[in-house]
Chain A
Amino acid sequence: MSILQVKNLHVSVDTDQGAKEILRGVDLTIRSGEIHAVMGPNGSGKSTLAYSIAGHPKYNVTDGEILLDGENVLEMSVDERARAGLFLAMQYPVEIPGVSVSNFLRTAKTAITGEAPALRTWIKDVREAMDNLRIDAAFSERNVNEGFSGGEKKRHEILQLELLKPRFAILDETDSGLDVDALKIVSEGVSRAHAASDLGVLLITHYTRILRYIKPDFVHVFVAGKVAEEGGPELADRLEAEGYDRYVKA
């Protein structure tokens, strides 16, 4: 059982007009096996939370803590966080020139586990995971994200999630830009990873649509850089019916 704690997190970014505060005291606790949905309107700071946990250099933590089983995550480099068991499925995965998917996956797996995976089982695992996500085998030899469609990029993110087996996964708007079929495939992948390794999930989304396929245990509504309301899955239903208007009328 692992626990990821975000305590009073304040985060700012540098802009031409000076530092701009985006997160204004976020508190969140996720345990292994739990699925948390973070919902909110555009600009509420949802993605900033995701990137801050992963350690993107653009985001400056000005106050607060992030702890993974009591360890100070903020002191870790980006790669150390990943090796500690944190995974960020990116909203906009970048193209990596010259690096094939197969080489990338094997290198990442080796980095995460500290040793090269046994070749025969690894090839089988990759093929099976790709089949499950309806990713064509030819993708292995393509460069990472190069020429991938939006849906292919998202499925490739979930492929990594399933193969790298982190303790906690942060999904940053993985559902955006997906048609219903792709959304189902991606959701099944998340559910498989969740079931296989007692994964804790922080699902960041603008819409309630993905929550029909991935049932959250907890729902947090983000407004203006803070959690404005928390509840169970029923809160998502209410948001579906009412939208964010009652939070942002100011």
Chain B
Amino acid sequence: MSAPVQHGLSEHSHGAGVPLQIRSDRPRSTSVADFPAITQQQDLWRYLNVDQLKGLDSEVLAEYSEQVSFSGPDGVSFEWILSSAAPVGSIGLPEDRVSAAGYTNASKTLLVKIADELVSAEQITISVKGDSATASALHIFVEAGKFSSTTLVLEHSGLGVLAENVEISVADEAKLNFVSLQNWESGSAHVSAQFAKLGRNAFLKHTVASFGGDLVRVTPIATFSGPGAEVELNGVYFAEAGQHLENRPFVDHAAPNCKSRVTYKGALQGDKAHTVWIGDVLIRAIAEGTDTYELNRNLLLTDGTRADSVPNLEIETGEIEGAGHASASGRFDDEHLFYLQARGITPDEARRLVVLGFLVEVIQKTGIAELIESLTALLEEKLNRG
């Protein structure tokens, strides 16, 4: 990868006089009124304009239920429960206005329970298929029981404007391979807060794959509540002309001897294709023995694209195994093309080779053959449009 050509400002380095706010100190509330109206001056929303939210910041939203279908192996139950009932809200509460709007306006929550000790290769699928541009709310709660080991794909498609909260409880010793796929039609806007809490020795592989939609913003938040757990937050995205794809992963090392790896890779193609990656990692004083690394790489395929990339690492203890981050945004330029062409490879094939090589690596980490195949085909289709 060539040297960074564009590297976002550090979150702490702008707006002189603004007090530094620790990531975990953000106010949390389920009430929309507790958050001010969204403006671009607010740090959380500075990379997009309010119009792009298509009404998701309103106090009142419609609610998704018929748009959601699901399937899974024996040992997995699906039930719509009242959002006022336990365990809703036990894993994470809204940290921003859209998340609060989604929380308040989803009167029911889809509770997905994975039985203790269920080990299954059969995929759990939650399919959200939007059917209108009405701003709506959805709440999903996933409970992966002790010693379970499963794969869950949450897929979003159709035309939708959605404020979504997903809570993911990964119990002690459980393993969950979770994928959130955003493949919306154009005209869609999707803001999703995905809270995960990991118990002792739990493992969560969380993958965000964002391809379709005018605006897609996903905030995966992983919190360790017991020692010895491990989280992988992976992401892959491909922004075309006019698309805004934003990811704000946050790992909260609130327990000792846990490990986190954050790997997000994206490609941009076309005028005003915009991606944003804000990667926060907090290592609390109690989190001795932490091992963390976060990485974001962006590949700018054409002129007129913009990739903002900001890694933030807060460390409150010196007793750690390792902590690092890397961020780079590079171009696929004429010299790359010349090199590949000089070996007989056509320009189209050269671009395909570079982009697929760059992005498919992340998709492959899911280990889900069908998904790898379909997303690779989707990427090829997008490249052919470029």
- Among residues of A, the one whose C-beta sits closest to the C-beta of B334 is A57
- The segment out of B36-44, B161-169, B350-358 that lies at the interface is B350-358
- Residue-wise, chain B 213-249 has the 8 Å CB interface mask toward A (1 for contact) of 0000000000000000000000000000000000000
In angstroms, Cα B343 to Cα A144, docked, is 13
Interface size range on B against A: 20 to 34
Residues of chain A with a CB closer than 8 A to B338's CB: 56-57, 78
C-alpha spacing A79/B344, complex, angstroms: 4
Give the contacts of A200-220 with B (CB-CB under 8 A): none
Beta-carbon contact of B344 and A111 below 8 Å:
yes
Q: Is B346 an interface residue (CB 8 A)?
A: yes
Query: What 0/1 pattern do residues 104 to 121 of A give for CB contact below 8 A with B?
Result: 100110011000000000
Given A97-B354, A98-B359, A98-B361, are A82 and B1 neighbors across the interface (CB < 8 Å)? no
Instruction: Judge whether B349 and A111 touch: CB under 8 Å.
Output: yes
Contact indicator A111/B354 (Cβ below 8 Å): no
- Closest A residue by C-beta to B299: A97
Determine, out of A9-17, A88-96, A189-197, A232-240, the stretch whose residues face the partner at the interface: A88-96
Chain B minimum-CB-distance residue to A90? B339
A99 near B339 with CB under 8 A, answer no
A103 at the A/B interface (Cβ < 8 Å)? yes
**A65 CA to B339 CA in the complex, in Å?**
23
**A36 an interface residue at 8 Å Cβ cutoff?**
no
Taking a contact as CB atoms under 8 Å apart, the answer to whether A111 and B358 are in contact is no
Residue of B332, B353, B361 near A104 (CB, 8 A) is B353
Q: CB of A46 within 8 A of chain B?
A: no
- Closest Cβ–Cβ distance, residue B338 to chain A (whole Å): 6
Interface core residue of B336, B339, B355 (most chain A CB under 10 Å): B339
Instruction: Give the chain A neighbours of B332 by CB distance below 8 A.
Output: 97
**A residues in contact with B344, CB < 8 Å:** 79, 82-83, 108, 111-112, 164
Instruction: Please report the C-alpha to C-alpha distance between residue A23 and residue B7 in the assembled complex, in whole angstroms.
Output: 40
| Interface assignment of B115: CB less than 8 Å from any CB of chain A | no
Contact present for B357 and A99 (CB under 8 Å): yes
Contact A107 B345 (CB under 8 A): yes
Given the complex, which residues of B lie within 8 Å of A81, measured CB to CB? 342
Q: Are A96 and B346 in contact (CB under 8 A)?
A: no
Q: At the interface, yes or no: B335 with Cβ under 8 Å from chain A?
A: yes
Residue A88 contacts which of B342, B345, B356, B358 (CB distance < 8 angstroms)? Answer: B342
Per the CB 8 Å criterion, the residue count for chain A at the interface is 32
How would you classify the secondary structure of chain B's contact residues: helix, strand, loop or mixed?
helix
A111-B343 contact in complex given A95-B2, A97-B1, A100-B357, C-beta closer than 8 Å: yes
Docked CA distance A147–B243 (Å): 33
Decide if the interface of chain A is mainly helix, strand, loop or mixed. mixed
The complex places the Cα of A104 from the Cα of B1 at a distance, in Å, of 16
Report yes or no: A96 in contact with B349, Cβ–Cβ below 8 A: no
Using CB atoms, name the residue of chain A closest to B352. Answer: A107
- Chain B residue with the shortest CB-CB distance to A99: B357
A52 within 8 Å of B by Cβ? no
CB of A77 to closest CB in B, whole Å: 7
Within the complex, the shortest CB–CB distance from A25 to chain B, in Å, comes to 25
- Bound-state Cα–Cα, A56 to B359, Å: 28
Do A82 and B341 contact each other (CB < 8 Å), given the known contacts A94-B336, A107-B349, A111-B349? Answer: yes
Contacts of B349 in A (CB 8 A): 107, 111
Which residue on chain B has the smallest CB distance to residue A112?
Answer: B344
Minimum CB distance partner of A84 in chain B: B344
Q: B346's closest neighbor in chain A, by CB?
A: A79
Q: Which of B2, B345, B358 contacts A98 (CB 8 A)?
A: B358
**Binary contact track A62-85/B, C-beta < 8 Å → 1, others 0:** 000000000000000111011100
Compute how far the CA of A107 lies from the CA of B344 in the bound complex, rounded to whole angstroms.
Answer: 9
Docked CA distance A111–B343 (Å) = 8
B357 surroundings in chain A (CB, below 8 A): 97-100, 103, 143
How far in angstroms is the closest Cβ of chain A from B182? 22
Given contacts A97-B299, A98-B361, contact A77 B341 (CB under 8 A): yes
Q: How far is the CA of A129 from the CA of B160 in the complex (A)?
A: 54
B330 at the binding interface (Cβ < 8 Å): yes
Let me know if A82 and B342 touch, CB within 8 A. yes
Residues of chain A in range 121-146 having any CB-CB distance to chain B below 8 Å: 143-144, 146
- Judge whether B118 is part of the interface by a CB distance below 8 angstroms: no
User: In the complex, A148 Cα to B355 Cα: how many Å?
Assistant: 21
8 pairs of A and B residues whose beta carbons are closest in the complex: A98-B358, A98-B357, A111-B344, A78-B341, A108-B343, A82-B344, A112-B344, A99-B357
A→B interface (CB under 8 Å): 54-57, 77-79, 81-83, 87-88, 90, 93-100, 103-104, 107-108, 111-112, 143-144, 146, 160, 164
Q: A55-B342, A79-B345, A164-B343 are in contact. List 5 more A-B contacts (CB 8 A).
A: A98-B299, A104-B353, A108-B340, A108-B344, A143-B357
Can you list 24 A-B pairs, Cβ within 8 angstroms, ordered by A?
A55-B341, A78-B338, A78-B341, A79-B345, A79-B346, A79-B347, A81-B342, A82-B343, A87-B342, A90-B339, A93-B339, A97-B2, A97-B297, A97-B354, A98-B358, A99-B353, A100-B357, A107-B345, A107-B353, A111-B343, A111-B346, A111-B349, A112-B343, A164-B344
